[in-house]
Amino acid sequence: MLLQLSEFSAGYGEIDIIRNIELSVSDREIVTIAGTNGAGKSTLVKGIMGLVPKMSGTMLFAGADLLRMRAEERAARGISYVPQISNVFASLTVLENLKVVNVSGRSGKRLDDMFSVFPALRDRRRTLARSLSGGERQQLAFARALMTDPKLIILDEPTAALSPALTDQVFQRVIDLRSHEVAVLMIEQRARQSLKISDRGYILDGGKVAMSGKAADLLSDPAMAKLYLGINDGH
């Protein structure tokens, strides 16, 4: 198991926002976190990154105890986080955005790797990030996250504000990430589409895991369809 949370609770003050979460991600797995607005999805992933002030429970990553580690240490151990907005530097070119990721050693080789995975970025390497299309910008955000050669990438709503066509493209890119020996944990409002490309899923409601399991089982569960699917995606 790559990431294992047990009895994990987290919050910002007196009251915990998420409570007693059991969650795991295996090597190269794609896992969706979906659920209602305000359920605590962002708080959960920020907790994994070490960005929430109050946390308790157990959190293991590649066998190490993450809970007491600072955010920088967690990142250094191989977790990359792609926030929902402001995930690239708008005033830098594509090439500059990739170069400023702090990678020790072979960054030239790494750049070549990124351009072979995302050929559109090679063509646009001198373009300012602010001039990229929404889909290209998301590719750049993924490429930046991959520059550090992480074991786990956490994506916070990668398709937010994208058109249906670009959404399909971004989900295809998420599938491609798997060939990079990387696991993906992603928050998605488009739960149905996201589960279709995932191995497993967790549905949060009111700070707790309401449902979890194999993505195919969740997609065919009538209770899941009634309560949590189809509100935000028309597919």
Supply φ then ψ for residue 221, to 5 degrees. Answer: -85, 120
> Looking at beta carbons only, is 9 or 148 nearer to ligand ATP?
9
Distance of CA 110 to the CA centre of its chain: 21
Q: Does 135 participate in binding ligand ATP (rule CB under 6 A)?
A: no
> Looking at beta carbons only, is 12 or 130 nearer to ligand ATP?
12
Beta bridge partners of 54: 11
Q: Which of 157, 216, 165, 166 is nearest to 192 (CA)?
A: 216
> Looking at beta carbons only, is 19 or 110 nearer to ligand ATP?
19
Is there a contact between 156 and 187 (Cβ–Cβ < 8 Å)?
A: yes
> Looking at beta carbons only, is 35 or 201 nearer to ligand ATP?
35
Distance CA(69)–CA(44), nearest Å, equals 16
For the bound state, the minimum distance from the C-beta of residue 126 to ligand ATP, rounded and expressed in Å, comes to 35
Q: Kindly identify the residues of this chain, within the stretch 26-55, that bind ligand ATP according to CB under 6 A.
A: 35, 37-43
Report how many residues bind ligand ATP under the rule CB under 6 A: 10
Which of 17, 154, 184, 185: binder of ligand ATP (CB under 6 A)? 17
> Looking at beta carbons only, is 67 or 160 nearer to ligand ATP?
160
Beta bridge partners of 60: 4, 65
67: tokens are 């809970």
For the bound state, the minimum distance from the C-beta of residue 34 to ligand ATP, rounded and expressed in Å, comes to 9
E strands present in 106-207: 152-156, 183-187, 200-205
For the bound state, the minimum distance from the C-beta of residue 22 to ligand ATP, rounded and expressed in Å, comes to 17
Binding site for ligand ATP (CB under 6 A): 12, 17, 35, 37-43
